[in-house]
Chain A
């Protein structure tokens, strides 16, 4: 499961494991994974 953004219509798409990789609104097959709203810890090195 994850949040994606459609490469054509720019709508937010939520997909589960069983869903085909396809935008349900426009049928476009290229989706971009969006950044999750969690705090990311990084070492400054």
Chain B
């Protein structure tokens, strides 16, 4: 199996997986979305809340804020050696703000230097005489339990294989029909500029009167797109998911 990274930055990752199969491709996607742990606020203690939002609604909003996570120093809370919460299984935040103001995720003050919420997310608008004071506790979890612990949105597609036969008359109908504009007639020849951009919609096949063009998905090669929520780097999500999948396979083998 081979992996080609197409593009990578701190929020998104695109790569090609070669010599795979559909079931493995989907397993990898599912592990990335729902088995890779990430921090999310789980418990909130309200000391004061005279804002226009109910405690429960505000707590729900807090839970959905992505938090930069360092997995190397954290354990799951129920697997931690401590009795009830320690710096290696939870991160605490405090929020104190008086109106008139807009409360942003930046206002959450973290006990950790590295693990902070993503800035710039508005939570609630405070009017005159309104105030919020609360303590929040973030713990590791997986999206199997709640979607707030989902580290990324992951999708994949079969690698598009576009073949143009001898019957092609260079009429240009397929060039017009293609929504991704990846077909061009150049020097009296129909060529594909970037087949990775093809979405397998087969509009070119429908447009072609000669049935000269065929588009097929290669079910052994996959193009993945990983879009992180911001809690973990996409590369880390991908590598962690491989470790988790491997661990599951080993557990199965050892129990058989």
Binding site for B on A (CB under 8 A): 35, 39-45
Q: B47 contacts A45, CB within 8 Å?
A: no
Q: Closest residue of chain B to A42, judged by CB?
A: B59
Task: Decide if B46 touches A40 in the complex (CB within 8 Å).
Answer: yes
Residue of A nearest to B63 (CB): A44
Q: Are the CB atoms of A44 and B47 closer together than 8 Å?
A: no
When distances are taken between beta carbons in the complex, the residues of chain A under 8 Å from B59 are: 42-45
Task: Find chain A residues with CB under 8 A from B62 CB.
Answer: 44
Query: Are B47 and A42 in contact (CB-based, < 8 A)?
Result: no
The residue in chain B whose Cβ has the minimal distance to the Cβ of A44 is B63
B55 lies within 8 A of A44 (CB): no
Number of chain B interface residues as a range? 10 to 19
- Please determine whether B47 and A39 come into contact, CB atoms closer than 8 angstroms: yes
Q: Does B148 contact A (CB under 8 A)?
A: yes
Tell which of B46, B50, B63, B136 touches A45, judged by Cβ atoms closer than 8 Å.
B63
Report B's interface with A, CB cutoff 8 A.
Answer: 40-47, 49-50, 55-56, 59-60, 62-63, 136, 146, 148
Cα A25 to Cα B156 in complex, Å, equals 69
- Identify which of B55, B60, B63 contacts A40 (C-beta below 8 A): B55
Given A35-B50, A40-B55, A45:B60 Cβ within 8 A: yes
Ranked nearest first, the 3 interchain pairs of A and B with the lowest CB-CB distance are: A44-B63, A42-B59, A40-B46
A44–B62 alpha-carbon span in the complex (Å): 7
A39 touches B45 (CB 8 A): yes
CB contacts (< 8 Å) of B44 on chain A: these are: 41-44
Contacts of A39 in B (CB 8 A): 45-47
Closest A residue by C-beta to B61: A44
Min CB distance B50 to A, Å, is 7
Do residues A44 and B148 form an inter-chain contact, with CB atoms below 8 A?
yes
Give, as a whole number of angstroms, the nearest-CB distance from B45 to chain A: 5
Across-interface contacts of A40 in B (CB, < 8 A): 45-46, 49, 55
B148 neighbours in A (Cβ, 8 Å): 44-45
Contact with A42, one of B40, B50, B56, B146 (Cβ below 8 angstroms): B56
Nearest CB of A to B46, in Å: 4
Bound: A44/B137 CA distance, A: 9
